[in-house]
Amino acid sequence: MAVLTDGEVQLDQPDRATIEFIKNLKAYTIATIATRVAARVQAVAEQRQAAGQPPLMTEEVAALVEPTFEWKVDRFISRQTQEMMWNRLFEAMTRKAPELLAWLEEPVPQPRGTLTLDPTLEIPAYFEVDYHIQPGGMHKEPLIPFVLATGQVVYHAGRNDRWTLKRSVAELIPEGRYERILDLGCGIGQSILPIKERFPEAEVYGIDLAAPLLKFAHKLAESEGVALHLSQQNAERTNFPDNFFDVVSSCILFHEIPDEAARNVIAEAYRILKPGGYFQIGDTMPYRYLDPYRRYSSDWQTEHNGEPYWRQAGLRDYPALLQAAGFRDIREQPTRAGLWLTSARKP
Ligand SMILES: C[S@@+](CC[C@H](N)C(=O)[O-])C[C@H]1O[C@@H](n2cnc3c(N)ncnc32)[C@H](O)[C@@H]1O
């Protein structure tokens, strides 16, 4: 029997029921309670604007929302559902661990693509984080790719069904005939496979720091008959030659790295792109485009949801960073799934 169906492990019925409950509770909370809090802040912001007063500061938003019952319930449910989701998924995958790990480790007899792991790779200190409060973060727990494959869909409470978030980034790569495309921080394959789907003639490469995620992406691609070239590398300094890629893409990598690493990754993308090559950063919405409530509630990700670099990323000026690195033709746009895309070309 196949280990994966549509890129996910089929959960046993009791696990599936619990996970569906968590997903629906998250979606319900966002659609009802969180929107009510947001509307209250928005109303005050509009009154102030109409009265010619300065925009709401973060502390003022905090003073408005924190005493409310809705905010407390919303945050309580957000945190609890997150913990419940990871715990239940780890339990579910642990029960299937022998089968899952045997599949992950078993070499593909005649692979179409390649997988190159580097056990000597130095893992940067900033990566030693339990991202999204996942136990073990991205690289320490062998079952993590299986947990993430289901968790990434549940976590986004409907927004990433059928990998919609990730596809929304892949689909903004301009049409063209490309020799080589690279996905930085390709994870378990949800952002890179849609790229290969769109550009089947191109050689598609993916790098990530996390070996378990790369192993999963490799097996998933091979089980679908897709050739990807995956390697364990730090996107800040890769082993690719200068002027090698036509396109370098990244999907929700940048909010998981601190400012200095972000500058390094941009410089590296510049180095490995061919002249005229296209670079894109698909990530969370910059704070300057968020309303006061969403700016404030985004900060909660930094404080309570295992996203230590979220605020830094939200405050980053990607167009300025790209310009400083030498990129030109810099553009910004939302993706259809609500991510934010900054793109540029190497002259
Ligand atoms: C939120 S995940 C996104 C994964 C994938 N792009 C997707 O959209 O499904 C961010 C990924 O970036 C990887 N990552 C973080 N820092 C990195 C770095 N310096 N170099 C390479 N990969 C990195 C993580 O291991 C993780 O897989």
Query: What's the pLDDT tens digit per position in 272-308?
Result: 999 999 999 999 999 999 988 889 988 888 988 889 9
Would you state the pLDDT for residue 136? 86
Would you state the pLDDT for residue 134? 86
**What length does the chain have?**
347
Task: Give domain limits for the chain.
Answer: 13-345
Architecture per CATH, 13-345: 3-Layer(aba) Sandwich (3.40)
In angstroms, what is the span from residue 187 Cα to ligand 1's centroid? Answer: 5
Render pLDDT for 133-162 as a digit per residue (tens, 0 to 9): 888 888 999 999 999 998 877 777 666 667
Which run of H or of E encompasses 149? helix 144-155
Alpha-carbon span 173 to 192, nearest angstrom: 12
> In the predicted model, what is the mean pLDDT of residues 42-70?
93
In angstroms, what is the span from residue 55 Cα to ligand 1's centroid? Answer: 35
> In the predicted model, what is the mean pLDDT of residues 177-199?
97
In angstroms, what is the span from residue 234 Cα to ligand 1's centroid? Answer: 10
Atom of ligand 1 nearest to the CA of 131: 1
Would you state the pLDDT for residue 158? 65
10 Å Cβ neighbour count for 17?
11
Q: Is the dihedral of CA 91, 143, 19, 96 positive or negative?
A: negative
> In the predicted model, what is the mean pLDDT of residues 111-116?
98
Characterize the bridge pairing of strands 8-9 and 4-5: antiparallel
> What is the pTM (predicted TM-score) of this model?
0.95
Alpha-carbon span 19 to 26, nearest angstrom: 11
Would you state the pLDDT for residue 245? 98
Which residue, judged by its Cα, is nearest atom 4 of ligand 1? 187
Would you state the pLDDT for residue 7? 87
Would you state the pLDDT for residue 160? 67
Question: Within 6 Å (CB) of ligand 1, which residues are found?
Answer: 127, 138, 166, 185-187, 190-191, 207-210, 213, 234-236, 251-253, 256-257, 261
